[in-house]
Structure 1
């Protein structure tokens, strides 16, 4: 593991000695969300400032939902655009937890980023978040001129659960001639395979633990739902979906499903690239202050995004 991240993990373990955290089921979801937001903002306090930020409302699956538009300073009237969905197991995370990350993507790739604050489980069980994601991407296409997006260069992206939302939305729109997704940016995506991968079985943390994954699954309540295939993408037909970059981390339970999804896209004739950072951990894109290795990974990812839609 990257030594800086190892030091962070060790410090967290030492701080928890003798005081094991209560089970997630014992805490109100909002308390977990506040803790996550504080933790992630504390590890990313120096995002680029050369970005204009505007809060707005976009279409969701059951009414308008909040969103945030990031525009690099000096951007042309129309640029490539990334509709971005934050991670957090469909339960935690928000515009604030991922603010620095979205600023960084916009600034380094030179594209506009529209971050979407989709509805969270368990208050809004499946498929609320997926409905919001699909509606928001359709809204971005239909209002591209209003937000400075070039309709021919609109990508979807997200990290962890947000990567699931992005991939699911790209699959839903692959046959829509009016809304042709140009690219997928899938950062350690949760593909939610029907059977646990080797990495899900072997790795219990750091960052993403088996307890957390089980809690996310329970809150989402997608298992057995008539539309469950929108979240469980292990058997999705990838033929015709947009080109993709899939980024995984070596110390992440989700690494195998991300790799496998990239391989399935390639097998279906899709131009997909898989990049793994073997020394990094789940959620590393939100930890720029922790390790220089994160900054390098972010730059390399942003370069690929720029090449795709910049």
Structure 2
């Protein structure tokens, strides 16, 4: 049992959890009825009613506000809110806390394995705008992925801004990739069955790792005999270009959990030097050459400020000859992968993500 991801909920969070569980059992017929009056975006997607309520709550209650508060409070609030929304999932066969030697010191990580055997490794980087988020906030998601894809999930606590600004998170992500490659034989996994995955800022880091590793022709395995590249880059509503604001940043600027103002706040902490924001390690869409990268599965939410840059990255990868699947979760908002307790649409989308990882690893 992981000690690092075990969390005791406050009384308020326990009450919140009861309410969330109840919301997750609203009859589908009632949700379909409510959806008929839901908001429609510019491309015709209709917002799921539970996503509309989540957006309203996040816009109304300070505890659900992602940004604009003291850093420690923002991190604690996200951690508790995510834990309160965790599903009751089966126990893991393997669940161990690890330490990765990183360029800036030890990097905490947790490995999850649902079954006795494993189909591969997924190196997972959590979201949170490079400022917040950790193994606790994404514990439910990685457990769900471990169950659905049959692989080891290595959840990585890379260094966060503003204490550790760009490129600290990138350096830690690359160290975590090398660690997974080195550990694969010990875990009984083939080195050609290792993927990178992440949501939001973690999707950004996954795309960057895929680019950086591929530029070097792969990372050498422990014996130095093979160069290893990701077999898949799983990019869940990723940040891909912070140098500009596309239409979705304006269309969904407020009221839907992640806002345009939040993104500015995150970037000001992670990359305060505006000149650095065109660096492909911050904005992977701006890389000179995207050819030769690993296959990608890009997930975008229909009502997400980051939607259009995710689509742009998928299109750029495809134009460069990379095998790409673009999964448009039209009824959902940013952060839905942590909302599976309350949303059937979110559960279905995360199930597709797990299935795609499973196919790539097998």
**Distance across 2 between alignment mates of 1:122 and 1:147:** 35
183 and 14 in structure 1: CA distance in 2 versus 1, 3 angstrom threshold = closer
**Distance across 2 between alignment mates of 1:66 and 1:113:** 14
Aligned partner of 1:89 in structure 2 is 129
Distance apart, 1:7 and its partner CA: 2.6
1:109 correspondence with 2:143: no
1:214 pairs with one of 264, 268, 293 = 264
Instruction: Provide structure 2 residue ranges, at least 5 long, that are not aligned to the other structure.
Output: 1-46, 219-226
Aligned partner of 1:164 in structure 2 is 204
51 and 263 in structure 1: CA distance in 2 versus 1, 3 angstrom threshold = farther
SS of alignment partner, residue 306 of structure 1: helix
1:187 correspondence with 2:239: no
1:144 pairs with one of 184, 207, 221 = 184
1:120 correspondence with 2:143: no
TM value normalised by structure 1: 0.92
Aligned partner of 2:355 in structure 1 is 303
1:112/1:148 contact within 8 Å kept: no
Distance apart, 1:12 and its partner CA: 4.5
2:66/2:262 contact within 8 Å kept: no
1:138/1:179 contact within 8 Å kept: no
2:100 pairs with one of 45, 58, 82 = 58
**Distance across 1 between alignment mates of 2:98 and 2:58:** 36
SS of alignment partner, residue 258 of structure 2: coil
1:233 correspondence with 2:233: no
163 and 291 in structure 1: CA distance in 2 versus 1, 3 angstrom threshold = same
1:47/1:101 contact within 8 Å kept: no
As a proportion of its length, which structure holds more strand?
1
Query: Deviations 1:123-157 (Å, cap 9, x if unpaired)?
Result: 00110001000111012112212234320111011
220 and 258 in structure 1: CA distance in 2 versus 1, 3 angstrom threshold = same
Larger deviation, residues 224-233 vs 266-275: 224-233
**Distance across 1 between alignment mates of 2:73 and 2:59:** 21
254 and 23 in structure 1: CA distance in 2 versus 1, 3 angstrom threshold = closer
2:112 pairs with one of 46, 70, 86 = 70
Query: Over aligned residues, Cα RMSD in angstroms?
Result: 2.1
193 and 218 in structure 1: CA distance in 2 versus 1, 3 angstrom threshold = closer
**Distance across 2 between alignment mates of 1:61 and 1:85:** 17
303 and 213 in structure 1: CA distance in 2 versus 1, 3 angstrom threshold = same
Structure 1 segments, 4+ long, off by >3 Å, are: 10-16, 19-23
1:132 correspondence with 2:172: yes
Aligned partner of 2:29 in structure 1 is none
Distance apart, 1:22 and its partner CA: 11
1:193/1:234 contact within 8 Å kept: no
Aligned partner of 1:3 in structure 2 is 49
SS of alignment partner, residue 193 of structure 2: strand
**Distance across 1 between alignment mates of 2:194 and 2:322:** 17
1:223 correspondence with 2:274: yes
Aligned partner of 1:256 in structure 2 is 308
**Distance across 1 between alignment mates of 2:67 and 2:107:** 30
Distance apart, 1:40 and its partner CA: 1.4
Distance apart, 1:193 and its partner CA: 3.9
2:303/2:334 contact within 8 Å kept: yes
The number of aligned residues is 304
Larger deviation, residues 30-39 vs 192-201: 192-201
Aligned partner of 1:176 in structure 2 is 217
238 and 132 in structure 1: CA distance in 2 versus 1, 3 angstrom threshold = same
Instruction: Provide structure 1 residue ranges, at least 5 long, that are not aligned to the other structure.
Output: none
Query: Deviations 1:151-201 (Å, cap 9, x if unpaired)?
Result: 011101100000000000100011324122111000000112422111012
Distance apart, 1:50 and its partner CA: 4.0
TM value normalised by structure 2: 0.79
**Distance across 2 between alignment mates of 1:60 and 1:192:** 26
